[in-house]
Structure 1
């Protein structure tokens, strides 16, 4: 809303006084992005990792993911029916087993940065995988229409109760679902872009993308996830047990 202030002064002459308007400023309304409504989400998927510098496939894995909303994220990765790794994430911890070299890790989210070279919280990871907006950041975007789509931009979006801030642009389709999420970390310039496509209905009330295409610019890495037979509100396994002969990985 704009407030127009004008001042008129009475003069003896008959010359009309022109009303002066203050310059317009950008309006940042709170914009409601479609957020998936669920308690549990699980799906099998194909995961392909590509080196963007050479455009060559690095690895292709079968992945099974379970998410209990805002609580736990469970992922196991296998190849030719043999489990290679398992990871369980909670809002404040990470547990990881690597069956290839018989090692494990239990600790905080420093491991995410060491692995991906970009700082991501549990909420950010969950949101990127579930086609959601980040829930613990300010919701104060500049809004632009692009034909049927809507572009939301905040060049300094701050995380609540934290010093973390990002330069973020979100592209929504005509149903206000995220089809592109572009993130640049303010302090490190690390850049992540997630594209979502081939939306379909899992239930009459739950719609999800079939393909998530994530690009990590500095890491020269692209991760393509293709979902198969996702299920909503069906509790899934989150089992995690460390074999006694496995060795703990120390953070560097």
Structure 2
């Protein structure tokens, strides 16, 4: 792979992963069969509360696994280490198959930092820099919800349409230019997120695999993330091998003096 192609891959992979691991060793939780005959509560507020009640609660979250990345048709396999401190930061380390860390990312509600170890360069931007790859309504909390498999607060509102189809819930609506559609499984956990900004040609789709228990709460064993921004297309298949909740974590992010800061 040429240096220029590799460099481009690092930036896109790091930023897309922010926007947006071996097979799991833990037993997955069986999804009950849908029952379309079940009586549905007619109160939307209560149904929204029921779905939100099943969110994963955490102060810290650590995810490790392998990822297959497809960027505009070019595929690469890497290892990813993702750490989160609720409402404060999302930290990522991306490692090539050879065991060499190629990039490190730190995202906060205010900023995004990417350290490209391959070319010894460093990027620091305000959080809204990610809007070049996503809709402008994508926030830090939305990313946090995506990576934790939780519902997205901005969508869990009375203005959204919520109905049960064939025994499973579907939530949909539109906020400004962003149209959204969320599907739930019969565990009342998110099975699919679809965000679409037709005006800007940007779309994000996240599909969650089987759920497993992590200290008596449910977390997806895998995620498939598809992002499109104009002609740029990124696909990330994450398969988690280790998931830890509420454990002590550090979020190391330093930049050697020799690294060049780029705009």
CA distance in 2, matches of 1:117, 1:174: 29
User: 1:169 aligns to what?
Assistant: 181
Q: Which has more helix, going by share of residues?
A: 2
Q: Deviations over 1:2-28 (max 9, x none)?
A: xxxxxxxxxxxxxxxxxxxxxxxxx99
The 1-side partners of 2:134 and 2:150 are apart by 22
After superposition, the C-alpha distances for 1:26-55 in whole angstroms (9 at most, x for unaligned) are x9923132311111100111111125x75x
User: What is the deviation of 1:138?
Assistant: 5.9
2-structure distance, mates of 1:181, 1:46: 21
Does the 8 Å CA contact 2:68/2:76 hold for their aligned counterparts? Answer: yes
Q: Does 2:154 correspond to 1:143?
A: no
**Secondary structure at 1:97 match in 2:** strand
**Normalised TM-score (structure 1):** 0.77
Q: Are 2:246 and 1:243 aligned?
A: no
Question: Secondary structure at 1:220's aligned position in 2?
Answer: strand
* Other structure's SS at 1:124 match: helix
The verdict on how the C-alpha distance between 1:168 and 1:28 changes in structure 2, with shifts beyond 3 A counting, is farther
> Residues 170 and 138 from structure 1, CA distance in 2 versus in 1: closer, same or farther, beyond 3 angstroms?
closer
Mapped pair 1:127 → 2:139: no
Q: Alpha carbons of 1:229 and 1:187: their partners in 2 closer, same or farther (altered >3 Å)?
A: same
Question: 1 CA distance for matches of 2:247 and 2:201?
Answer: 39
Residue 219 of structure 2 corresponds to residue 208 of structure 1: yes
The alignment status of 1:63 with 2:80, answered yes or no, reads yes
Contact 1:198–1:211 (CA under 8 A) maintained in structure 2:
yes
Following TM superposition, the consecutive aligned residue runs of length 4 or more in structure 1 with deviations greater than 6 angstroms are none
Change (3 A) 1:215 1:28: farther
Deviation at 1:243, TM superposition (A): 0.3
Q: In the alignment, is residue 188 of structure 1 matched against residue 203 of structure 2?
A: no
Question: Partners of 2:212 and 2:171 in 1: how far apart?
Answer: 23
Of the three residues 45, 59, 81, the one matched with 1:39 is 59
Aligned length: 212
Q: Which residue pairs with 1:29 in the alignment?
A: 44
Deviation at 1:74, TM superposition (A): 0.5
Which residue of structure 2 lines up, in the alignment, with residue 13 of structure 1? none
Name the CA distance, whole Å, in 2 between partners of 1:125 and 1:94: 12
For the 8 Å contact 1:28–1:142, the answer to whether it is kept is no
Query: Structure 1, unaligned stretches of length 5 or more?
Result: 1-26, 158-163
Aligned with 1:234 (options 232, 243, 247) = 247
Which is bigger in relative contact order (C-alpha 8 A, separation at least 6)? 2
1:77 to 2:94 alignment: yes
Structure 2: give runs of 5+ residues left out of the alignment. Answer: 1-41
Structure 1 residues 143 and 137, CA gap change in structure 2 (3 angstroms)? closer
CA contact (8 A) 1:28 1:143 kept: no
Q: Tell me how far apart the structure 2 counterparts of residues 165 and 131 of structure 1 sit (CA, whole Å).
A: 24
